[in-house]
Amino acid sequence: MDTNTIAIKAVDLNKKFGSFSANKDLNFEVFKGEIFGFLGANGAGKTTAIKIICGLSKPTSGDITVAGFDVYAETEKIKKNIGYMSQKFSLYDDLTVWENIRFYAGIYGMSKKEIKEEADKLIDKLGLEHARNKLIGSLPLGWKQKLAFSIAIIHKPAIVFLDEPTGGVDPITRLQFWEMIYAAANDGITVFVTTHYMDEAEYCDRLSIMVAGEIKAIGKPLGLINEYKAKDMDEVFVKLARG
Amino acid sequence: MKRFFAFVKKEFYHIFRDYRTLLILFGMPIAQILLFGYVITTDLKDVKIAVYDPTPSEVSQQLVHKLESSGYFIVDQYLNSPSEAEAIFQKGDVREVIIFEAGLAENLVKEGKGNIQLLIDASDPNMGNLVNQYTQGIIRSYQAEMIDAPAVQGGINVESRMMFNTDLASVYMFVPGTMALILMLISAMMTSISIAREKEMGTMEVLLVSPLKPLQIILGKVTPYVALSFINAVTIIILGNTVFGVPVKGSLILLMGESLLFILLALSLGILISTAAKTQQVAMFISLFALMLPTILLSGFIFPIESMPEILQYISAIMPPRWFIVIIKNIMLKGAGITFVWQETLILIGMITFFIFMSVKKFKIRLE
C-alpha cells in the first residue's frame, strides 16, 4: 500500500433521488494498492455510491476523484482506468475461456498482440491451459470466479471494484480468491470490495460501514473491533446497524 | 471502432452457438412462408359438389362440365333425390349441392327461363360465400355464351378484371404479410431477448462500467440482427417469387430499402421492449403478445382493415406492419415507385424516431 498516493477521494458526496438521500456527506480516501472494504446492509446506499465512483451516475453534490479523474467531467477516463467484477462473475457461458478474455480485453481497447500476451500469462497463471477452448458454462464456479477476477484486471486498471465477489463459492475457494486479491494489491492495484461476509471484511486493510446512507465508521478492522468493544467484525456491524 | 467490432463479433458468437436462435432466425421464415403460402389459402380448389338432375339435358350437362373444368369444383356424386342433400352435408365432404329443376332445358326454350337451386354448406361462412360467388359466376358466364346476341336482349354486360392479381391468389397477400410478421418478430424479439439476457446474466453491468458507450452497446447488439433480418427479407422475396410466383414489379432497390427501414423500426421497438423487460422471458412474452398478434390480426395481413369496426381501424393505424404491408404490396404487385408510397414511408420513419426517443429516455432513467 502506498499511503502517499490517493486512488479514490470523496469529499461530501451527496446523492438525492427527489427528497430521498441515498448518500449523505460521504467522506473517505482510498490509497493506491489498498484493499478497501465497503460494507453496509442492503439498501444502505452502497450500490448508489459505487455507481457514482464508477462513473455510471452523477452525484448531486460533492467532490469526487477516481484515479485522479473527476467524476463530473472525466467519466470516460475513469472507465478506462477501472475494472469491475460483480457477484454474478459476468462471463459469457456460451463463449470459451479464450473468447471471454479476448472480448473483455477488446472492449478495453487492448491491441491484438497485448491481448495474446496477457491471455497466455493469465491462462498459465490460473492453470487453465487445458480449458482454453472450453465453454465457460462447463467450468466449475470457483474457476469462473478466479477467471472473472483475472479478466477484470487484465487491462491493468488503477482500481478494481469487486461487488460481493465471493457469493456462492466454498470457503477454500474463497481463501484462494483472497490470495489473488492480495497479489493484485501488491502489484499496486487498488481493490474496492463490498461483501456480506464479516470474516472476510477482516481481510481488508481498512473498511467503512454504511448505515442508512451515511458512513458510520471507517478504519482498520482491528481498530474498529477495539473501538466498539466487540469480539469480531460481525458484532461491530450489528452494533452499528442497530444504531 | 476496435471496441465496437470486438462487441459485434461476440454477438455473432452468441447467435451461431445457440441452435434455438438459429432455428428461429432461419427456420421460421421459410416454414412460415411455406405454411402461409400452401396451407392457409382462401382460394377455391377442387371443392366437392353433388348434383341432382332429374331430367339430364344438354344444358345441365354443359353446366356441370363447365363447373368441373373451372378447376374450382369436382362433382363428387349424383343424387337420386334432393332430400339426400342434408345427409351428404352431414358427412362433411361435399360443400355444395346443385339442384336442377325438372325439365330445365325445355323450360328455357319454352318460357325463356329456368331455375337452378344452390344448397351451400355455410358452416364456414367465408367458404360458403366463395362457393356461392364462384358458382353463380360460372353459371352467368355460361348464360352469356348461350345467348347469341346479348345486346339484343338489352342486358347489361358486366365484365370485371381483377387487377394486379389476376388469379385472385391469396399467396400474393401472404408474402407481404409474412414478410412483415417475420421481420417484426425476428428483429424485435431477438434483440429484446439478447439485451435482456445481458441484464439477466449480470454482464450488462460490466459492459456499462467498461469504456463502451451505451450507444455502442446498443448498436453492437442490433448490428448482427440488421444483417440477418435483411437476409431473411431477401429469402422471403426469393421464395415468394420462385415457389409461389409472386412478382416484384417495382424497383428491387426500393423494396430492399423499405425492408431495411422496417427492420430498423422493429429493432428500435425491440430496444424499447428491452428497456422495460428485465428477463428474457418477459422480453419474449411482450414481443409475442404485443407484436405477433396485432401484426397478424390488425395489420390487414389476414383481415381487411376496411371491414374492421371503426375503433379497430384506428388501432391498426398505429401498427407499424400495417404501413409496411401497404408499401411492399404497392411495390411488389403494382410496381409503385417512391412517389406512391412516400406517405407510408414517412409514417415508418416517424415511428422509428418515436421508438428511439422513448428508448433513450427510458435508458437514461434506468442509469440514474
A208-240 confidence digits (pLDDT tens)? 999 889 999 999 999 999 999 988 888 888 888
Instruction: Give the gap in angstroms from C-alpha A98 to the nearest C-alpha of chain B.
Output: 12
pLDDT score, position B182 = 86
Residues B178, B277, single domain; the answer is yes
Q: Does the pLDDT at position B242 exceed 80? A: yes
Mean pLDDT of chain B: 84
More confident residue, B336 or A108: A108
Task: Report residue B341 CA to chain centroid gap.
Answer: 19
pLDDT score, position A56 = 84
pLDDT score, position B149 = 47
The whole-number average pLDDT for the span B324-332 is 89
pLDDT score, position B365 = 62
Give a three-class secondary structure readout of B220-277: HHHHHHHHHHHHHHHHHHHHHHHHHCCCCCCCHHHHHHHHHHHHHHHHHHHHHHHHHC
What span, in angstroms and rounded, lies between the C-alpha atoms of B268 and B187? 9
User: How many CA within 13 A on the CB side of residue B219?
Assistant: 10
> Considering the domain boundaries, does residue B159 fall inside one?
no
The whole-number average pLDDT for the span B337-353 is 90
* Amino acid type, A171: P
Residues B256, B130, single domain; the answer is no
More confident residue, B149 or A13: A13
Contacts of A102 in chain B (CB under 8 A): 6
Which domains occur in chain A, in start order? 34-55+75-242 (3.40.50.300)
What span, in angstroms and rounded, lies between the C-alpha atoms of A233 and B309? 70
Instruction: Give the gap in angstroms from C-alpha A239 to the nearest C-alpha of chain B.
Output: 32
Cell numbers 491451459: residue: A129
Task: Report residue A225 CA to chain centroid gap.
Answer: 23
Angle between helices B280-287 and B190-201 (to 10 degrees): 160
Instruction: Give the gap in angstroms from C-alpha B198 to the nearest C-alpha of chain A.
Output: 9
| B197 in contact with chain A, both atoms CB, cutoff 8 A | no
pLDDT score, position B160 = 60
Mark which of B101, B123, B153 sits at the end of a domain: B153
Contacts of B13 in chain A (CB under 8 A): 92, 94-95, 99
pLDDT score, position B150 = 47
Residues B224, B144, single domain; the answer is no
Give the contacts of A28 (CB within 8 A, at least 6 positions apart).
A8, A9, A10, A208, A215, A218
More confident residue, A215 or B42: A215
Rounded percentage of chain B residues whose pLDDT exceeds 70: 91
Residues B115, B217, single domain; the answer is no
Contacts of B3 in chain A (CB under 8 A): 106-109
Residues B351, B287, single domain; the answer is yes
Mutation test of the interface with chain A: which of B2, B198, B205, choosing the one with the most A Cβ atoms within 10 A? B205
pLDDT score, position B152 = 44
> Considering the domain boundaries, does residue B161 fall inside one?
no
- ipTM reported for the complex, 2 dp: 0.88
Interface of A with B in 145-164 (CB under 8 A): 161, 163
> Considering the domain boundaries, does residue B262 fall inside one?
yes
Strands (E), chain B: 47-52, 73-78, 96-100, 116-120
The whole-number average pLDDT for the span B311-326 is 88
Contacts of B17 in chain A (CB under 8 A): 94-95
| B279 in contact with chain A, both atoms CB, cutoff 8 A | no
> Considering the domain boundaries, does residue B210 fall inside one?
yes
Residues B205, B287, single domain; the answer is yes
> Considering the domain boundaries, does residue B111 fall inside one?
yes
Instruction: Give the gap in angstroms from C-alpha B7 to the nearest C-alpha of chain A.
Output: 7
Q: pLDDT grade, residue B364 (50/70/90)?
A: low
How does DSSP assign B3-35, residue by residue?
HHHHHHHHHHHHHHH-HHHHIIIIIHHHHHHHH
pLDDT score, position A122 = 93
| CB-based contact A78:A88 (threshold 8 Å) | no
Mark which of B118, B153, B188 sits at the end of a domain: B153
Mutation test of the interface with chain A: which of B13, B200, B208, B209, choosing the one with the most A Cβ atoms within 10 A? B209
Q: Does the pLDDT at position B259 exceed 90? A: yes
Backbone region of residue A67 per phi and psi (left: phi > 0; alpha: psi in -120 to 50; beta: other values):
left
Q: Does the pLDDT at position B158 exceed 60? A: no
For B271-318, the pLDDT digits (tens) are 998 888 888 889 888 888 888 888 888 888 777 788 888 888 888 888
How far from A46 is each of A193, A214, A215, A233, CA to CA, in Å? 11, 10, 10, 18
Q: Does the pLDDT at position A88 exceed 60? A: yes
Lowest mean pLDDT among A11-25, A98-112, A153-167, B76-90: B76-90
pLDDT score, position B151 = 44
Interface of A with B in 56-115 (CB under 8 A): 56-57, 76, 79-80, 82, 84-95, 99, 102-104, 106-109
Residues B121, B224, single domain; the answer is no
Supply B142's cell numbers. 355460361
Interface of B with A in 69-108 (CB under 8 A): none
Cell numbers 406517405: residue: B343
pLDDT score, position B3 = 85
> Considering the domain boundaries, does residue B158 fall inside one?
no
Closest Cα partner for B1 from A116, A74, A107? Answer: A107
Instruction: Give the gap in angstroms from C-alpha B1 to the nearest C-alpha of chain A.
Output: 9
CATH code assigned at B85: 3.40.1710.10
Mark which of B123, B153, B183 sits at the end of a domain: B153
Q: Does the pLDDT at position A187 exceed 50? A: yes
Q: pLDDT grade, residue B133 (50/70/90)?
A: confident
What span, in angstroms and rounded, lies between the C-alpha atoms of B176 and B180? 6
Residues B188, B108, single domain; the answer is no
| A202 in contact with chain B, both atoms CB, cutoff 8 A | no
Contacts of A97 in chain B (CB under 8 A): none
Residues B248, B351, single domain; the answer is yes
The whole-number average pLDDT for the span B101-120 is 84
What span, in angstroms and rounded, lies between the C-alpha atoms of B320 and B18? 29
> From A18, which residue of chain B is nearest by alpha-carbon distance?
B368
Residues B235, B132, single domain; the answer is no
Is A86 within 8 Å of B205 when comparing Cβ atoms? Answer: yes
Contacts of A94 in chain B (CB under 8 A): 13-14, 17-18
How many structural domains are present in chain B? 2
pLDDT score, position A207 = 92
> Considering the domain boundaries, does residue B160 fall inside one?
no
The domain containing residue B232 runs over which residues?
Answer: 2-40+169-367
More confident residue, B137 or B173: B137
> Considering the domain boundaries, does residue B257 fall inside one?
yes
Q: Does the pLDDT at position B44 exceed 70? A: yes
Give the contacts of B129 (CB within 8 A, at least 6 positions apart).
B122
Residues B296, B318, single domain; the answer is yes
Is B367 within 8 Å of A95 when comparing Cβ atoms? Answer: no
